[in-house]
Amino acid sequence: MNSATNSLRGEQIALSFGGIKVLKGLDVEFRPGEITGLIGPNGAGKTSLFNCLTGAYIPQQGTITYAGHSLDGLSPAARAGKGIVRSFQHVALCPDLTVNENVMMGVARNYSAGWLNAFLPLPRGRKEREEMKRAAEAALTDLGLPDVGDKMPGELPPGMQRLVEIARAVVGKPSVLLLDEPAAGLNNSETRDLMKVLRKLTSTDLVMVVVEHDMDLVMSICDRIYVLNFGEIVALGAPEEVRTNPEVVRIYLGSDDDE
Ligand SMILES: Nc1ncnc2c1ncn2[C@@H]1O[C@H](COP(=O)(O)OP(=O)(O)OP(=O)(O)O)[C@@H](O)[C@H]1O
Ligand SMILES: [Mg+2]
């Protein structure tokens, strides 16, 4: 299958709030088999673009397609059903569920009984619950968190909560993985581990997009990088090209508040 076939594309995406243009007619293509970076200063529109791709925001203009099929009009849940999943800039775990149960929510779409039914005392529900539990434990182990499944999220330090959130995003074997600042709140060694995990996750049919302010992470794991500023794409290229692009240098040197 040609690599462009299973791309996630946005064409002419425009979004505004109360007359303020947040995205100004963007064209993007996120390809399978690659990690694409999405960088830019605070308020550039990175999270808003993710929200449009996942269906949380409905752009006033433009079209979003995955594998050549339009996603326009599909709810976030319907898009998740197609394997389009994201992690959030601000950790969004359910505080009343254990860590393992939180991660299980990310795999439920792969099971016919669903997440709630897995808790009913029916034989099929029990079997599916066991399988989901094992998948969740494996995802946590892959992220270096083998022994925290029975804890409540609030008992974990922020860096670990972030990794749990990523485990929930990857456990269901997504086809499109959108990570919004996955390294925020992680210390250096957790960030290094995360980079290894993300690299290991790449496969020929996974579209992975990473929004990140940690330039070392972006430059070392991404194949291509889009640079967004004030709702417009100002650069696209391999890490080296982007790093030396005069417009990008100007944007980053000109603003001190993009950490
Ligand atoms: N729901 C909303 N209502 C009004 N304005 C919004 C909304 N969502 C985003 N915006 C505005 O859109 C602009 C882009 O915000 P966005 O969160 O997409 O930026 P970002 O690039 O993710 O920034 P950061 O790096 O700080 O996370 C900002 O000016 C923000 O205030
Ligand atoms: Mg953001």
- 153-209 pLDDT, tens digit per residue, is 999 988 889 899 999 999 999 999 999 999 998 889 888 888 988 998 899 999 999
The pTM of the full predicted model, rounded to 2 decimals, is 0.90
User: Ligand 1, from 26, 42, 47: best to mutate by most atoms within 8 Å of Cβ?
Assistant: 47
How confident is residue 56, by pLDDT bands cut at 50, 70 and 90?
Answer: very high
Q: Is residue 89, in this structure, part of any structural domain at all?
A: no
23 CA distance to ligand 1 middle (Å) = 10
**DSSP designation for 7:** -
Ligand 1 atom closest to Cα of residue 48:
18
Q: Which residues pair with 14 in a beta bridge?
A: 24, 61
Q: How far apart are CA 128 and CA 229, in angstroms?
A: 45
194 CA distance to ligand 2 middle (Å) = 19
- From 91, 81, 50, select the one nearest 209 (Cα to Cα): 50
Whether residue 41 sits in one domain with residue 79:
yes
Contact 159, 188 (CB under 8 A): no
Ligand 1 atom closest to Cα of residue 181:
27
Listed residues: CB within 5 A of ion ligand 2: 46-47, 89
Look at residue 116 in the predicted model and tell me its pLDDT. Answer: 63
Question: Of 130, 153, 172, which marks where a domain is finished?
Answer: 172
Look at residue 118 in the predicted model and tell me its pLDDT. Answer: 60
Contact 164, 182 (CB under 8 A): no
- From 47, 88, 77, 67, select the one nearest 176 (Cα to Cα): 67
CATH number of the domain to which 39 belongs = 3.40.50.300
Domain count within the chain: 2
Q: Whose CA is nearest to atom 17 of ligand 1?
A: 47
Exposure letters 162-195 (e unless 16+ CB within 10 A, then b): bbbbbbbbbbbbbbbbbbbbbbbbbeeebbeebb
The percentage of the chain sitting over the pLDDT mark of 70, rounded to a whole number, equals 92
Of 3-12, 15-24, 124-133, 154-163, the least confident: 124-133
How confident is residue 1, by pLDDT bands cut at 50, 70 and 90?
Answer: very low
Provide the strand spans (E) within 134-259.
176-180, 207-211, 224-229, 232-237
Q: What are phi and psi of 185, to 5 degrees?
A: 85, -5
90 CA distance to ligand 1 middle (Å) = 13
Q: Which residues form ligand 1's pocket by a CB distance below 6 Å?
A: 17, 22, 40, 42-48, 89
Q: Whose CA is nearest to atom 12 of ligand 1?
A: 22
Q: Is residue 90, in this structure, part of any structural domain at all?
A: no
Ligand nearest to the CA of 45: 1
Q: How far apart are CA 178 and CA 61, in angstroms?
A: 21
Beginning with the edge strand found earlier in the chain, give each strand of the sheet holding 224-229 in spatial order. Answer: 84-87, 176-180, 207-211, 35-39, 224-229, 232-237
Tokens of residue 248, six digits: 């990008």
Whether residue 139 sits in one domain with residue 184:
no
pLDDT mean over 72-98: 92
Q: Does pLDDT of 259 surpass 60? A: no
Contact 54, 84 (CB under 8 A): yes
Q: How far apart are CA 13 and CA 21, in angstroms?
A: 11
80 vs 121, higher pLDDT: 80
Whether residue 165 sits in one domain with residue 100:
yes
Q: Whose CA is nearest to atom 31 of ligand 1?
A: 43
Residue span of the structural domain in which 25 resides = 1-83+174-259
142 vs 35, higher pLDDT: 35
Whether residue 190 sits in one domain with residue 126:
no
How confident is residue 24, by pLDDT bands cut at 50, 70 and 90?
Answer: very high
pLDDT mean over 123-148: 88
Whether residue 248 sits in one domain with residue 126:
no
Look at residue 90 in the predicted model and tell me its pLDDT. Answer: 86
Name the average pLDDT for the chain: 90
Q: Whose CA is nearest to atom 4 of ligand 1?
A: 17
48 CA distance to ligand 1 middle (Å) = 6
Q: Whose CA is nearest to atom 8 of ligand 1?
A: 48
Look at residue 4 in the predicted model and tell me its pLDDT. Answer: 59
213 CA distance to ligand 2 middle (Å) = 10
Look at residue 112 in the predicted model and tell me its pLDDT. Answer: 65
Question: Of 172, 190, 210, which marks where a domain is finished?
Answer: 172
Look at residue 114 in the predicted model and tell me its pLDDT. Answer: 60
Contact 1, 169 (CB under 8 A): no
238-258 pLDDT, tens digit per residue, is 999 999 999 999 988 775 444
